Structure 1
Amino acid sequence: MQGRRLATTDEVIAIVSPDAGGALGRLEAWCTDRGIGLSTVDVGDDIARVYDENRATLGVTLGGDGTFLEGIKTFAPRNVPLLGIDLGTLSFLARVDPDDMEAALDEAIHGRARVESRQQVAIEAPGMESTGINDVMIEHVPPESPIGRKVTTLDVAVDDEYVGTFEGTGLAVSTPTGSTGVSLSANGPLHYPANNYAMQLVPLQTHALGVRPIVCASTAEIHVQAGGETNLTVDGGRDHTVLEPNDDVLITGADTRAHIVRTSYGYGFFTAIAKKLGWSIRDADAEPPAGFSRRAEARPESMLERARRIAIEAAHSAAEPLCELHGRVEDITYKSDKSDIVTEADHQADRIISTVIANEFPDHAIVSEESEGSAGADERASTRSAGAADLPDGIESYQDGTTADTTDLDEALPSDRPTYTWVVDPLDGTGNFAHGNPNYAVSIALVADAEPVLGVVHVPETGETFSAITGEGAYADGTPLGTTDRSRLDESMLLSGYDPDGSFLTRFYQEARGVRRLGCAALHLCYLASGSADAIWEYDTYPWDVAAGIVIAREAGATITDDAGDPYPFTLERNGRAPLLGSNGPLHDHLLEHLAEAPGTDD
């Protein structure tokens, strides 16, 4: 989960330990001051009565790690991120000091926090089906007699491959989060837990020197069969059962991961183990040597570099709900229900992007395809921009969704408008999305004085991110892009957008190697930039359809014109639809000749 998504937080649900006291009062005051809803539940209580899946929710725990584990158990199945305020004495998970609570929360709701994904463990055993964040312990039941047998045997297989027999007091199977404590005591490995999806098996008090811990993928299926009566506990006893001889236990990585919010006010993992466990290779508050951090030596970002980074983060954050809702679309039969989900997807993505940009660039205008959609001003007003500078008259309207009644955005903006305008299509390829097709994208562009200068296109279903800044080249996930150099139509692959009378397809189908239509103009331009196509044709385009893709294609070496060969007339007019012809360059004159000959293109 992207931390930028937290910028749209509507509601805080707090799980509160009995001694939360003053911290709870301060949390209530913080939420009231910022117009954010707050619901509180006691540790162990169900949040179903207060949780609304349609509201962007941040989970908070006020307590120690025990309370935090309850938070994970509660929030992880609902995909709700969790911030822990440390009121305990030996916390590894809840790391924000109470004195820093308000500052940490502010950082989160401005989208500047980091969200770590944590692997969970799933367990199936006779009489138990459970999920944990730390570990599964399978241990010998203590004998009633002091001279009784204290050793158990456990047969283990990983993905149907027999590992062998562990003989000792038991076995710990843990996630990276649970790799401290028991694992360290048993001389097991220490895992850095953030975004780490491994599983480890640590034998406990084995009777053979050669038995070592095992690390495997979270997708591995670990089968354990007990040779005698054994105790099985999850997360220190939060779930427990007794296994009979020959009972089979299946342990694997859980499908649902926990999302933990980390801010600059919470101490890091290695600081935590230095503070709590006496990590001997550094002092708890040790600073790295001068010049050690590459980040500290990095050159300062230019405004456009920062804008690209923010746009990429916003696009990735918006992609998360799109992917979630796309999966729901595929399971729905009725068109009306699909329409509701597509509308929700559009609005969720648009809200995330607009909020992130408004927080970081409060004096920039934002123009979105959804600006005149059904989302009203009240809904968009909840996308706070706390501390942002007041916007010029006429600009705020584009950020809160109540656009002026005009077809020309240039006329709607005041004469002293900001230099920069963001042009956003939160869901390009709506028709594809509605039918479960993966060819849709998030498109974000920055326009300076009516000319696109930065473009970001992210493809949620493949994870690809295309980006470009004018004069600095085009990239796909850091790899430079370049167009093809083909000059023959019969060797070329063409992409076509809307073709109302079929004239483009009729004219070029036999002439080219193939004509394809993806139904997403932003992707067409990116695939031209990457060399996956040699030319593209769009019968008419809106600014949000092509603003980002134009920058990416041009920086990759593409030629972009209208159907007459004149420079493409980019405009911010809402009704400023224009044809677009893009090519690798060598093909362009041939394409223009054929377009001029094709029936119906004179329109």
Structure 2
Amino acid sequence: MQGRRLATTDELIAIVSPDSDETLERLADWTDEHGIELSTVDVGDDIGGVYDENRATLGVTLGGDGTFLEGIKTFAPRNVPQLGVNTGTLAFLARVEPEDLEDALDETLRGRAEVDSRQQIHVDAPGVDATGINDVMVQQVPPENPIDRKVTRLDVYADDEYVGEFEGTGLAVSTPTGSTGISLSANGPVHYPVNNHTLQIVPLHTHKLGVRPIVVSPETELRIVTQGQASLLVDGGRAHTILSGDDEIVVTGADKLAHVVRTSYDDHFFTAITKKLGWDIRDAEVPPEKRLEQRSTAKSSRRESKGFVERALTVATEAAEAAGEPLCELHGQVESIDQKTDKSDIVTEADHQADRIITTVIRNEYPNHAVFSEESTRQYGTDTDYTWVVDPLDGTGNFAHGNPNYSVSIGLVENGEPIIGVVYVPETGELFTGIAGEGAWRDGDPIATTDRDRLDESMLISGYDPDGLFLSHFYQESRGVRRLGSAALNLCYLASGSADAVWEHDTYPWDIAAGLVIAREAGATISDENGDPFTFSLETGDRSALLGSNGTLHPALLEHMEDGIQSPTQ
């Protein structure tokens, strides 16, 4: 999950542990001041009565790690990001201290926080079907008679391969977020948990010197077969059962990740284990000469230290990627719906969510700039030199029919001329960027147009072509005319060499502001249908045709267009 997405938060749900009244009062004051709705529930209570899946929600836990784990159990299945505030005594997971609460929330609401995607673990066993973020513990059941046998034997399989027999007090299957202490007790590694999607098998009090922890992928299916009675616990007992001999436990990485919000006010991982586990290769406080600004502060500082154009490109990129997340989520729903009205509602919601994310991010970073979006009223700032031109969902028809050819388009216009372009393709993760005078890139790699100059060797793309004239006129003369349904993507595919020319009968500024920069910087020639240089305009009243090519093909295109393609007024 992209941290920029948190800028649109309009609801907080707090899970509150006992003895957190003072911190809760501060949280309530902050939400009142920012006009954000706050709902609270006690630890262990259901949030179903207050949670609205159609609102941008941030989960907050007030307590220690136990409360944080309850939050994960509640928020992760709903894909709600979670911020942990430590009002307990010992916490590895809830790392924002109460005195930093307001500052951490301000940073989050500005879209400056980060979101760590934490691997979860799923277990299926007799009497248990549960998900956790820490670990699954399989241990011996203490005998009634203290002199009876105190060990257990467990057969472990990884997919179809037999790992072996573990003999001792049991074993743990843990995520990188799980107990570092348990791993260390078995001479295992310290796992840095940030975006670390692995699982670890940790033997407990093994009776063999050669047994060591094993790291596997989250897709690995671990099967654990008990040779006698055993106790199974998930996340310290949030799910628990007693197993009999020959019972089978199946453990895998969970499908859903937990989204943990991290701010520059957090007590960071290596600081936490230094303070709490005696990590002795550094002090709790990092010496100034070795200190790097951390996480959100570092990224924010790097953004501020860049030149205006480079920083603006970073902001636009982060906004586009953040907007792509709800588009992907809602696109999946569209594919499974048959009713036209329901599909229309989802498409409208997709447009709205993506537009709100982008415009909020831009307004946070550049409050004096104008914002011109297809989906919302034009917003004017005090600095009229700069206008952000946004199409939050270019290719709406494709989106509505489950087609992946849609994009997010963000352009920055200076004094009427596009200078920055960002086009993001949520379904493929492709990112096209361009800076006027500096170049164009796909996923960071430079791109350029083709050099073909013959129509019969060229692939063409048609945008809006109401009478089919371009298609009928060029289809036989070329290697094909394709229609993708997204003007922004059309220009990016021209720029990256996936097509040799593009035709748009009519354009709007939000369709092409970003793509124009990318295509031109990749070497494309952009004209109107008569071959005159294309003039970008923020006005939307008059028809504005666009012909783009790799440059060398342009004369052949214009020559062939003379017969029936130009506007009837020409």
How far residue 489 of structure 1 moved from its aligned partner, in angstroms, is: 1.5
Aligned: 1:472 with 2:477: no
2:236 corresponds in structure 1 to 236
Give the residue type in structure 1 aligned to 2:127: G
Secondary structure at 1:104 match in 2: helix
- Contact conserved, 1:542 with 1:575, CA < 8 A, in 2? no
Aligned ranges 1:296-311 → 2 under 5 Å: 300-311=305-316
2:317 corresponds in structure 1 to 312
How far residue 576 of structure 1 moved from its aligned partner, in angstroms, is: 3.8
2:487 corresponds in structure 1 to 521
Aligned: 1:337 with 2:342: yes
1:256-311 Cα offsets, whole Å, 9 max, x none, are 11111111111111111111111111111123645878979979301111111001
1:316-371 Cα offsets, whole Å, 9 max, x none, are 11111111110110111011110011001001100110000000000000000012
Aligned: 1:436 with 2:402: yes
How far residue 176 of structure 1 moved from its aligned partner, in angstroms, is: 0.7
1:563 corresponds in structure 2 to 529
Distance 2:31 2:476 in 1: 64
How far residue 210 of structure 1 moved from its aligned partner, in angstroms, is: 1.9
Secondary structure at 2:361 match in 1: helix
1:362-406 Cα offsets, whole Å, 9 max, x none, are 00000000125xxxxxxxxxxxxxxxxxxxxxxxxx24xxxxxxx
2:544 corresponds in structure 1 to 578
RMSD over aligned Cα atoms? 1.7
- Contact conserved, 1:596 with 1:602, CA < 8 A, in 2? no
1:276 corresponds in structure 2 to 276
- Contact conserved, 1:501 with 1:600, CA < 8 A, in 2? no
Aligned ranges 1:29-44 → 2 under 5 Å: 29-44=29-44
Distance 2:517 2:205 in 1: 62
Give the residue type in structure 1 aligned to 2:218: S
- Contact conserved, 1:2 with 1:114, CA < 8 A, in 2? yes
- Contact conserved, 1:530 with 1:556, CA < 8 A, in 2? yes
1:87 corresponds in structure 2 to 87
Distance 2:306 2:68 in 1: 37
2:139 corresponds in structure 1 to 139
Distance 1:459 1:531 in 2: 17
Aligned: 1:510 with 2:466: no
Distance 1:460 1:475 in 2: 17
- Contact conserved, 1:526 with 1:552, CA < 8 A, in 2? yes
Distance 1:577 1:243 in 2: 73
Secondary structure at 1:173 match in 2: strand
Distance 2:292 2:88 in 1: 33
Distance 1:600 1:349 in 2: 36
Give the residue type in structure 2 aligned to 1:433: F
Give the residue type in structure 2 aligned to 1:469: I
Aligned: 1:248 with 2:248: yes
Structure 2: state its 5+ residue gaps.
none
Distance 2:17 2:179 in 1: 25
Secondary structure at 2:562 match in 1: helix
Distance 1:101 1:452 in 2: 40
2:96 corresponds in structure 1 to 96
2:226 corresponds in structure 1 to 226
Give the residue type in structure 2 aligned to 1:543: P
1:175 corresponds in structure 2 to 175
Secondary structure at 1:138 match in 2: strand
How far residue 444 of structure 1 moved from its aligned partner, in angstroms, is: 0.2
Give the residue type in structure 2 aligned to 1:423: V
Identical-pair percentage: 68
How far residue 600 of structure 1 moved from its aligned partner, in angstroms, is: 6.0
Distance 1:214 1:534 in 2: 52
Distance 1:341 1:253 in 2: 30
How far residue 599 of structure 1 moved from its aligned partner, in angstroms, is: 4.9
How far residue 204 of structure 1 moved from its aligned partner, in angstroms, is: 1.3
Aligned: 1:193 with 2:212: no
Distance 2:285 2:274 in 1: 8
Q: Structure 1's 21 and 211: CA in aligned 2 closer, same or farther, altered over 3 A?
A: same
1:429-474 Cα offsets, whole Å, 9 max, x none, are 0000000000000000000000000000000000111111111111
Q: Structure 1's 303 and 129: CA in aligned 2 closer, same or farther, altered over 3 A?
A: same
Per the normalisation by structure 1, the TM-score is: 0.91
Distance 2:499 2:421 in 1: 19
- Contact conserved, 1:562 with 1:580, CA < 8 A, in 2? yes
Per the normalisation by structure 2, the TM-score is: 0.96
Q: Structure 1's 576 and 309: CA in aligned 2 closer, same or farther, altered over 3 A?
A: farther
Given candidates 439, 446, 449, the residue that maps to 2:412 is 446
Given candidates 314, 329, 332, the residue that maps to 1:327 is 332
- Contact conserved, 1:231 with 1:242, CA < 8 A, in 2? yes
Deviates more, 1:591-600 or 1:308-317: 591-600
- Contact conserved, 1:68 with 1:84, CA < 8 A, in 2? yes
Given candidates 400, 414, 425, the residue that maps to 1:459 is 425
Count matched residues. 564
- Contact conserved, 2:200 with 2:215, CA < 8 A, in 1? yes
Secondary structure at 1:540 match in 2: coil
Aligned: 1:78 with 2:78: yes
- Contact conserved, 1:179 with 1:190, CA < 8 A, in 2? no
Distance 1:364 1:298 in 2: 21
How far residue 247 of structure 1 moved from its aligned partner, in angstroms, is: 0.6
Aligned: 1:52 with 2:67: no
How far residue 55 of structure 1 moved from its aligned partner, in angstroms, is: 1.3
Aligned: 1:125 with 2:156: no
- Contact conserved, 2:423 with 2:431, CA < 8 A, in 1? yes
Deviates more, 1:172-181 or 1:337-346: 172-181
Secondary structure at 2:506 match in 1: strand
Secondary structure at 1:458 match in 2: strand
Distance 1:540 1:525 in 2: 14
- Contact conserved, 2:183 with 2:213, CA < 8 A, in 1? no
Give the residue type in structure 2 aligned to 1:371: S
- Contact conserved, 2:170 with 2:203, CA < 8 A, in 1? yes
- Contact conserved, 2:197 with 2:217, CA < 8 A, in 1? yes
Distance 1:524 1:288 in 2: 50
- Contact conserved, 2:186 with 2:212, CA < 8 A, in 1? no
Distance 1:133 1:578 in 2: 54
Q: Structure 1's 600 and 578: CA in aligned 2 closer, same or farther, altered over 3 A?
A: closer
Distance 1:578 1:240 in 2: 66
- Contact conserved, 1:315 with 1:443, CA < 8 A, in 2? yes
Structure 1: state its 5+ residue gaps.
373-397, 400-412
- Contact conserved, 2:12 with 2:57, CA < 8 A, in 1? yes
Aligned: 1:357 with 2:362: yes
1:4 corresponds in structure 2 to 4
How far residue 147 of structure 1 moved from its aligned partner, in angstroms, is: 2.6
Distance 2:223 2:534 in 1: 62
Given candidates 479, 483, 493, the residue that maps to 2:459 is 493
Distance 2:197 2:288 in 1: 27
Give the residue type in structure 1 aligned to 2:52: D
- Contact conserved, 1:542 with 1:576, CA < 8 A, in 2? no
Give the residue type in structure 1 aligned to 2:65: D
